[in-house]
Structures are given as C-alpha cells and as structure tokens.
Structure 1
Amino acid sequence: MTDHPTSAPGLALVLDAGCRSIEQTIDDYLSARGGPAAAAQRLQEAVTALRRHIFAQEELLLPLLRGTTLDGPAHAMSVDHLQLWDTLDRVEAGLAAPTDPEVRRTAARILQAELDRHTTKERPIIFDHVEDVLSPEQQREVAERIETVEMPPGWVCPDPSGD
C-alpha cells in the first residue's frame, strides 16, 4: 500500500466504522451493560449517533452518488434512512416517556433489526463501491467532513419520493 495523501483513511472504512459503532451501542443497551440507567443512556447515544450518521450520508455522500452507477442504490439507501428515522422517533419517544422498559427494549430490537437489514445491503452495495465512483478528492473530503459534521437543529431525513 502506498502512502498517498488522498487515501487515508479510506471512505469505506470510515463509513463502516460509524455503522459498527452504532450497532455496538445498541447491543450494549440490549445486554444492559452497566445497569438500566447506563443502558438507557447508551440507547440515547445510539439514537443520536444514527441520526447524525444518516444526516452525514444524506448531505455529504448520497448527493455525490446521484448520476453515477450507484444512483439507484443511493435512492434505496435514502428510502431505508427514512424508515430508520421514523423508528428513531419511536425509540426516542419511548426514552422520553415513563414507559415499560420492555416497550423500549422492543423498540430497540426493531431498530437493531432495521439497521441490520439496512447495513447488510449498504455495506456491499455502497461502501464496497463508493471508492470506485468518487474521485480521491471527493473521498477525502467526505471522510474528513463525516467526522466533524454537525446536524442542524430540526433537520429531518428527507423523503426520497419528494412527497
């Protein structure tokens, strides 16, 4: 591997690391690591991280994939993001309201299953090919910005159907 200023770290690795971290945080919640209060905090962290991850992909990555060979898959990922966003709303509502802990756990399991279904498609279709369609400069810029981008207050995942 050559040391080239445009190749470190790889965009696919940055994207995948973000997903794996979120998945681990949800797993930590479901296994109640650290007790109930710590577990609930971990679930809120996962919700926040996944919202930020979706925002970063919708604003930084997917627009660059439009009009490329990944245009169709990018649209499909946006559809999944909207579904995940709705599930995140339900999970957050369960965290905010005094509700039966099992209701929260069920919502977290649903989120975990939806995220797994999404990343099972996203990894081989988008992550494994993003570096084939974006220039090294685009890859570097997205990888750098994904680490620091802030989601504006009130931002919601757009409906890819345009409705």
Structure 2
Amino acid sequence: MESMTLGQALELEHRAIDGGIEAYIASLSGAATANAEPLLSALSGLRRHIYLEEEFLFPPLKAAGLMGPIFVMLREHGQLWRQMDTVEEQLADGADAAAMRNDCTNLLSLLDDHNSKEEPIIYTQADEILGTSASSELLAFLETGTTPEGWVCSAA
C-alpha cells in the first residue's frame, strides 16, 4: 500500500469490506450452509476501519475545520456499528438465510450511503491535510493494526 495515498488505501479497504459481505450473501443461495468467513472477516475489517478513522484520522481533520462532515461520519459510524451488532447476533442465533440476507443487505446499503460521502469529502481532504508522516503511519496501521479489545465507536 506504500505507493497509494491514504485515501486510495481506505477506498480499497471499503471495496474489500463490501466484497466480503457480498460473498457471504452469495453463499446463502443454494448452499447447505453459508460460508460465514467472508462476512466475519468483513465485519472485523469494518470495525478496525472505523477505529482507525475515529482515533487517528478524524481528530486532525476536525482540528483543520471539517467539524460538520466529521460529525456526520461519526453518526453514521454508530448506525453501521449497530447494524454490524445485529448481523453478528443473527449469525450467532442461527437466523435463516432470508433474515441474514436482509440484515447484510441493510448493512451494504448503509455502507454505500456512508462511503459515497466519505470518499469524496473526507478522504480527499485527508490526503491534502495530513502530512506524509501521518499518512505513512496510517497506511502502516492498515497493514498490521488491530482494534483494541472492547473498543466501541463513539456513536454506538
């Protein structure tokens, strides 16, 4: 990811998260048992992605004057977090394919709405506002960082 900007790397992560959820939904059709691994990986990746944004990316952007857009992103992170909780609970409870498809489709819809604002507004500004050092640290976190145990987004 070194040759990418931070914004490009975060957008690529969005696609990977969406792809994991979509792969799980596809596995619900016709299989005796759905393959939950892509979904679990996507949910874990999304939680880590939100952590990175809220703890490292948003504070300097907020300080640079993007308070309104950051407020919207934080509110939407809360919606995403609660929907992820719902999906995980349904999966743990053995919900049927129709319920899982519905919950995952709802999550994808929230992600689409969120990402359509975040990518052109937040990520473009991040690439301009953050210095090379900060961007490099966040790119490194994308490769190896983890969400601390028990961490929950601010609007959950």
TM-score computed with the length of structure 1 as normaliser:
0.86
Q: Does 1:24 align with 2:40?
A: no
Shift in alpha-carbon separation, 1:64–1:36, aligned structure 2, 3 A: farther
Q: Does 1:123 align with 2:144?
A: no
2:52 is matched with which residue: 42, 56, 60?
Answer: 56
Shift in alpha-carbon separation, 1:63–1:111, aligned structure 2, 3 A: same
Are the equivalent residues in 1 in contact too, given 2:77–2:155 (CA < 8 A)? no
Aligned partner of 2:89 in structure 1 is: 93
Shift in alpha-carbon separation, 1:39–1:63, aligned structure 2, 3 A: same
Unaligned runs of 5+ in 2: none
Q: Does 1:102 align with 2:98?
A: yes
Shift of 1:71: 2.7
Shift of 1:155: 0.9
1:39 partner SS: coil
2:36 partner SS: helix
How many residues get paired?
154
Judge which range, 12-21 or 146-155, deviates more. 146-155
2:9 is matched with which residue: 8, 14, 35?
Answer: 14
Please, what is the CA RMSD of the aligned residues? 2.0
Q: Does 1:83 align with 2:79?
A: yes
Are the equivalent residues in 1 in contact too, given 2:25–2:101 (CA < 8 A)? yes
Are the equivalent residues in 2 in contact too, given 1:44–1:95 (CA < 8 A)? no
Shift of 1:152: 1.2
Aligned partner of 1:159 in structure 2 is: 155
Are the equivalent residues in 1 in contact too, given 2:28–2:101 (CA < 8 A)? no
Unaligned runs of 5+ in 1: 1-6
